[in-house]
Chain A
Amino acid sequence: DAMVIQNPRYQVTQFGKPVTLSCSQTLNHNVMYWYQQKSSQAPKLLFHYYDKDFNNEADTPDNFQSRRPNTSFCFLDIRSPGLGDAAMYLCATTPRLALQETQYFGPGTRLLVL
């Protein structure tokens, strides 16, 4: 089945040690999103790519970066994780930027910062 895949499902890192989370999709969608979701909260959009165009949310900390080397893959880099960055990170895709289009989510990567 076509899908959004996130690896790993669980990631443990140390305070201040850079970490990369990955997302891939077989849907051939133009748009890919990264969300942060803390416990019992709604997902919070960090940034998105429309094709190669990067769009950062105004309140996304500089500590969070992203790369999209090709249509299928998108990476979330956390340069110096703090304890407050422990969360579920969700990747999502959509075919195009239109009101009626659905966003398709991956299973998420749960990040633990020690």
Chain B
Amino acid sequence: GDSVTQMEGPVTLSEEAFLTINCTYTATGYPSLFWYVQYPGEGLQLLLKATKADDKGSNKGFEATYRKETTSFHLEKGSVQVSDSAVYFCALKNTDKLIFGTGTRLQVFP
């Protein structure tokens, strides 16, 4: 079945460091891909999405490119801030349901 694999956390960075959170997927056909962010005690917020191969989603300095050849959708940000500390979920949608990865906790220190 369809699945999403994310890198284990926590990812610990200093402020202004470069961020990569790896995400790979297994799916038939052409799923849509999403990154959601969850701040402590809150619900999930859509960070960005891509609906077809080679699309790049971007928002708030975060970017991810839909790579069908490597079945990946890695999240990147050039310079993280303390306020980016949260849990990041990669997800795919191949039917009417979202399939989430296990989440990656990011901790950014001043």
Contacts and interface: CB of A to CB of B under 8 A. Distances in A.
Interface stretch (B12-20, B37-45, B78-86): B37-45
A90 B44 contact: yes
A42 B101 contact: yes
B34 A102 contact: yes
Contacts of B46: 102-104
Contacts of A40: 103
Interface residues of A, number: 24
B42 A107 contact: yes
Contacts of B51: 99-100
B93 A99 contact: yes
| A-B CB proximity, top 6 nearest | A42-B100, A97-B96, A100-B51, A105-B43, A105-B44, A108-B43
Interface of B: 30-32, 34, 36, 41-46, 49, 51, 89, 93-98, 100-103
Interface of A: 4, 6, 31, 40-43, 45, 48, 50, 90, 92, 97, 99-108, 110
